[in-house]
């Protein structure tokens, strides 16, 4: 297997409330241990609006770490808060971005029999990040689903993809 990227960070968290009162699952904390990834997402991760987040077609939310620099340029006053994990993603990597990842791509995660497929491009959630959706050149992130034959897998930071 040729490694094209490494999982820089994993994130999960419970749903909470935004200052405006909307319930949101954007609040994620870095996971330092190995984590169980099931067909519907990372064990212990919670989404607030299951009509647009989570489930087997949107099990894991990915965002490339290097794309935060572009967002920080558009929102310089928010740059210190714009770090991996702050957009509600579960996985942050480098070198897996809109120029080399396509819907339908399948990635082997680690050395085990773990395969994840890019299911759909995802724009920031209207409830959570309405302002960011208008930023020119803002890279999409991806929801990944586990290939149907994989019931669950393990993921950890530093694991190759």
Which pLDDT score, from 0 to 100, does residue 119 have?
78
Q: What pLDDT digit, counting tens, does each position of 118-129 carry?
A: 877 765 555 445
Which pLDDT score, from 0 to 100, does residue 24 have?
85
- Token match 């803002």: residue? 138
- Round to the nearest angstrom and report the end-to-end CA distance of the chain: 9
For residue 136, is it within any domain?
A: yes
Q: What pLDDT digit, counting tens, does each position of 70-105 carry?
A: 888 888 888 888 889 888 889 998 888 888 888 888
| 97: Cβ contacts below 8 Å, ≥ 6 apart | 64, 66, 67, 139
CATH classification at residue 145: 2.40.33.20
23 pairs with which residues across the strands? 17
The rounded Cα 128 to chain-centroid distance in angstroms is 15
For residue 114, is it within any domain?
A: yes
Q: What pLDDT digit, counting tens, does each position of 47-76 carry?
A: 888 777 777 778 888 888 888 888 888 888
Please state the φ and ψ torsions of residue 70, each to the nearest 5 degrees: -65, -40
Comparison of pLDDT for 23 and 111, the residue scoring more: 23
pTM of the model: 0.74
For residue 1, is it within any domain?
A: no
For residue 82, is it within any domain?
A: yes
Number of domains comprising the chain: 1
Residues 33, 154 contacting (CB under 8 angstroms): no
For residue 42, is it within any domain?
A: yes
Beta strands 29-31; 141-146: pairing state: unpaired
For residue 160, is it within any domain?
A: no
For residue 120, is it within any domain?
A: yes
Give the residue numbers spanning the domain of 39: 7-155
């Amino acid at each position: 297997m040729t490694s094209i990227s490494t999982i820089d960070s994993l994130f999960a968290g419970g749903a909470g409330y935004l200052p405006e009162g909307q319930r949101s699952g954007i609040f994620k904390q870095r996971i330092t241990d190995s984590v169980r990834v099931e067909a519907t997402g990372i064990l212990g991760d919670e989404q607030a609006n299951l009509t647009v987040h989570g489930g087997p077609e949107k099990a894991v939310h990915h965002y490339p770490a290097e794309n935060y620099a572009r967002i920080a340029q558009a929102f310089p006053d928010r740059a210190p808060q714009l770090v991996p994990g702050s957009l509600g993603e579960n996985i942050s990597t480098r070198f897996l971005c809109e120029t080399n990842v396509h819907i339908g791509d399948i990635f082997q995660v680690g050395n085990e029999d773990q395969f994840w497929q890019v299911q759909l491009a995802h724009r920031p959630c209207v409830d959570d990040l309405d302002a960011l959706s208008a930023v020119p050149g803002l890279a999409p992130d991806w929801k990944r689903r586990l290939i149907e034959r994989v019931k669950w897998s393990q993921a950890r930071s530093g694991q190759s993809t």
